[in-house]
Amino acid sequence: MAAPVICFGQQPCGIFPRRFLFAKIQTARRLQQEHGGEIVFFCHDSDHDPRETITILRERHTGAERRLNFSFANKLQRQFSPLFSKRVVPGWKEKTAARLQQLVPAPLVELFRSVEADTVADFCLQMYERMGLLDDMRVARSSDPELRRRAVDVPDYFVDVPHEGELVRARRGDDCLLLHKGGNAYVHLPLQNYDKSQISPTRDTRLRWMQSVIGCTHYVAGAGERQYLNTADAPDVHFVTRDAISESDHAYIPDA
């Protein structure tokens, strides 16, 4: 039989990863110890929601909660550009490093300073790698054009297209492309020619799309994921709920 492929999925989720991602990683490593095989991190860096990269930390001396996030070049990029395209703006790293001195141990501040990346997704991934969290696992990114070309066709999806000088992630409508502004408000963009290298799935089609490329045997899911995953799209996969962890929305800090 083929060796197990143990997969977990997550958007880049902060300068330091949120604790629920750390729990997924630990659960995947436990499964690997039990069953062997390889671990694949399906990094959904095609997501565009700027809230995904909020980093929640506590001041080391007072315990007061602080929230950090990337700065964005403009409102359009903040709202609609995919994470792999949102740019790290000049001066952001230096200002954030100064704030981190009150929030994390000095070696982690220096680790943060050492990261050199042009985009939000690249910055997060480099940070996780330098923390040693992704050692000995394969990272598959939903922004990878080759992965997108290999993926199965799905009926509901987003398309990365240029708009007003930025790359935006627009949902495919019946006769247009849609940027959701909130509530019932949308920006309507005209349809244009595109190919599979520009397509990424919606939440409801992501599992089928991902599985068509990765072919995992085990999938580690978060508690929220289990509520919407259509497991019928992957009937041969063994779904495992990630291990419980306290303050799951807060950033994971080693030895904290």
**pLDDT of 2:** 79
pLDDT band at 1 (very low <50, low <70, confident <90, very high): low
Q: Counting Cβ atoms within 10 Å, is residue 1 exposed (0-12), middle (13-18) or buried (19+)?
A: exposed
For the segment 9-29, the average pLDDT, to the nearest whole number, is 98
Residue 111 placed within a domain:
yes
Distances (CA, A) of 234 to 45, 200, 207: 22, 18, 8
**pLDDT of 256:** 55
For the segment 70-93, the average pLDDT, to the nearest whole number, is 97
Question: Is pLDDT at 255 greater than 80 in this prediction?
Answer: no
Residue 70 placed within a domain:
yes
Residue 234 placed within a domain:
yes
Residues 6+ apart with CB under 8 A from 157: 171, 172, 199, 200, 201, 202, 205, 209
For the segment 244-248, the average pLDDT, to the nearest whole number, is 96
Residues 6+ apart with CB under 8 A from 92: 70, 71
For the segment 138-151, the average pLDDT, to the nearest whole number, is 98
Residue 92 placed within a domain:
yes
Question: Is pLDDT at 75 greater than 70 in this prediction?
Answer: yes
**pLDDT of 106:** 96
Whole-number average pLDDT of the chain? 96
Residue 185 placed within a domain:
no
Angle of helix 120-130 versus helix 106-114 axis, rounded to 10: 130
Tell me which residue range forms the domain holding 145.
5-150+214-241
pLDDT band at 226 (very low <50, low <70, confident <90, very high): confident
Provide the β-strand partners of residue 186.
180
Residue appearing with tokens 């996030």:
69
For the segment 167-183, the average pLDDT, to the nearest whole number, is 95
Task: Please answer whether residues 137 and 21 qualify as being in contact, where contact means their C-beta atoms are separated by less than 8 angstroms.
Answer: no
Q: Name which residue leads in pLDDT, 224 or 189.
A: 189
Residues 6+ apart with CB under 8 A from 220: 6, 7, 8, 24, 27, 28, 31, 240, 241, 242
* 3-class secondary structure, 27: helix
Q: Counting Cβ atoms within 10 Å, is residue 180 exposed (0-12), middle (13-18) or buried (19+)?
A: middle
Prediction pTM value: 0.95
For the segment 223-238, the average pLDDT, to the nearest whole number, is 89
Query: Rounded to an integer, what distance in angstroms lies between the CA atom of residue 91 and that of residue 69?
Result: 13
pLDDT band at 196 (very low <50, low <70, confident <90, very high): very high
Provide the β-strand partners of residue 239.
219
Question: Is pLDDT at 208 greater than 80 in this prediction?
Answer: yes
For the segment 100-119, the average pLDDT, to the nearest whole number, is 97
Number of domains, the chain: 1
Q: What share of the chain is helix, strand, coil (3-state, %, to 5)?
A: 30, 25, 45
**pLDDT of 20:** 97
Report residue 134 CA to chain centroid gap.
14
Question: Is pLDDT at 10 greater than 70 in this prediction?
Answer: yes
Query: Rounded to an integer, what distance in angstroms lies between the CA atom of residue 214 and that of residue 20?
Result: 22
The rounded percent of the chain whose pLDDT value lies above 90 is: 93
The DSSP annotation for 149-192 comes to HHSPP-SSEEEEEEETTEEEEEEE-SSSEEEEEETTEEEEE---
